[in-house]
Amino acid sequence: MSGSVRNNGSDSWLGENWKSDERELRSNGGSLAGASIVDRVGKKKYLVLRDTSGKCLCTKFALLRSGESASWFAQFPAPPEGTTEVDFQVGSMPPAAIEISGGE
């Protein structure tokens, strides 16, 4: 998955509440390590993939000042073939329905 985030607040933002609570992923800091996707039909939750060092295969954010934007990515295990929609969840944001495309 990929997208962009924009800081529309008046304070700087680092993505600290998007980090993972998992012990192995805590060192990722302000990142998408805490993101997940949920296949509601298959009733399965997928966490961000990680490399052999325990680092998430996702964006680690630099400080975003007010008005700045940043691109992000996060890699997840593929849901079963035929799955067309998942819910994306990160931090305290409400889940967002995401339509799965065939890729590039």
Secondary structure letter of residue 56 according to DSSP: B
User: In b/e form, how buried is each residue of 44-65, taking b as 16+ CB within 10 angstroms?
Assistant: eebbbebeeeeebebbbbeebe
Per-residue model confidence (pLDDT) at position 26: 66
End-to-end CA distance of the chain: 12
pLDDT of 87: 96
> What residues form DSSP beta bridges with 45?
38
Mean pLDDT of 60-78: 92
What is the tens place of the pLDDT at every residue in 20-39? 777 666 666 678 888 899 99
pLDDT confidence of 104, banded at 50, 70, 90? low
